[in-house]
Amino acid sequence: MSILTLEHLTKSFGAHQVIDDISYTLEEGRIFGLIGQNGSGKTTLMKLILGLLPSTKGKIFILDEEVSYGYTATNRHIGYLPDVPSYYPYMTAYEYLMLCGEITGMPKNVRKERVEHYLHLVGLAKNKKRIQQFSRGMKQRLGIAQALINQPKLLICDEPTSALDPIGRKEILDILQSIKHETTVILSTHILHDAEQICDEIALLHNGKFVITGNLSEIMTKHSKHQIQVTFHTENQACTFLEKLPFNEQIVHKSNSLIIEAKDLTHTQQQLFSLCNALNLYPSSIEVVQPSLDEIFLEVSR
């Protein structure tokens, strides 16, 4: 069943069109990576889904129920973690989650149970400090707990890892990975490594449009170029080999390595081995390399 449907969604701020006629359907049980540069409109798109901003044109549906601007009932299905979550600094994490639970209308006993469960999940169960004393990582973990407190069908996370150190990032990604079976996750990020690690499906937002969408492995296959990396023991060997290369493919020379773009992988491999024999140069390694999501992203964004 589709959890989110965008139909010709458009959003402009004055003459500046941030979202340009996007249509998309997201199925339940996925981790969906919304990827784009800073300022590409990811946060705007999320706020449109949450009914915090009015759309210029088009419709949004959550579980077939239309989102409306202002107060939208569809938010009962959604948990939201803003990019910079703002809390009441004078409260403790427990008090804040109790307030969130009360606003969603949970009975007190259920509220207490859930608050304790989610504080435990995000590793803040024993923390009695006020939020003003929290680190960024702790605030993000609290953000995930508050977003999950109403057990939403859709969790929207706006760049949850962008301001965190590697340990904090891993903690957040692990939590998101662990809840995948209960909640569909939309993860907005410009850290492509994060998306590569946990997303099943991605959309690349560029110039207001989804320029790439779909399953991550399919995207990698579709947009990948065959590249062979040949590494020599010394830089001189790499230079000698480079001079004698018989083809015009794009070659990147990095110290004692050459990265060669191959139109026909098998044929290029044969040529490389022959040349090695002919020159009596034996590389330390020859490997086929996959382009990263970063490279695909840069390629498409150009």
Partner 1 sequence: MNTLLALLKKETMEFNRTYKLLILFAVFLILAILSPLAAKFMPDIMAQFLPKEIAESFPTPSALDSWAQFFKNFSQIGLFVIALLFAGMIIHERNEGTLIILLTKGLHRSSVVLAKSLFAMLIWTIMYWISFSVTYFYTWYYWRDEHVPFLAVAVSHLWLFGLLLIAVILFGNVLFKSIYANLLWTALFVGIWFVVSIFPKTDNFNLLKLATNGDQILQGLYSVRDYKWIYIMAIGSILFIQFITIQIFNKKSIN
Binding site for partner 1 (CB under 8 A): 47, 50, 52-54, 70-71, 73, 75-76, 78-80, 82, 84-88, 90-91, 95, 99-100, 102-105, 143, 146, 150
Work out how close the CB of 105 gets to partner 1 at its nearest, in angstroms, rounded to a whole number: 6
Work out how close the CB of 41 gets to partner 1 at its nearest, in angstroms, rounded to a whole number: 14
Per-residue tokens: 118: 């989610």
- How many CA atoms does the CB half-sphere of 138 hold within 13 Å? 17
Name which of 13 and 282 has its Cβ closer to partner 1: 13
Cα angle 165, 217, 253 (rounded to 5 degrees) comes to 70
Name which of 176 and 212 has its Cβ closer to partner 1: 176
Which is it for the CA torsion 164, 168, 174, 175, positive or negative? Answer: negative
Spell out the residues 6+ positions from residue 117 whose beta carbon is closer than 8 angstroms to its own.
none
Work out how close the CB of 158 gets to partner 1 at its nearest, in angstroms, rounded to a whole number: 10
The number of beta carbons lying within 10 Å of the beta carbon of residue 299 is 12
Name which of 4 and 296 has its Cβ closer to partner 1: 4
Work out how close the CB of 104 gets to partner 1 at its nearest, in angstroms, rounded to a whole number: 5
Tell me the one-letter amino acid at 9: L
Work out how close the CB of 194 gets to partner 1 at its nearest, in angstroms, rounded to a whole number: 22
Name which of 53 and 204 has its Cβ closer to partner 1: 53
Cα angle 104, 100, 139 (rounded to 5 degrees) comes to 145
Name which of 82 and 137 has its Cβ closer to partner 1: 82
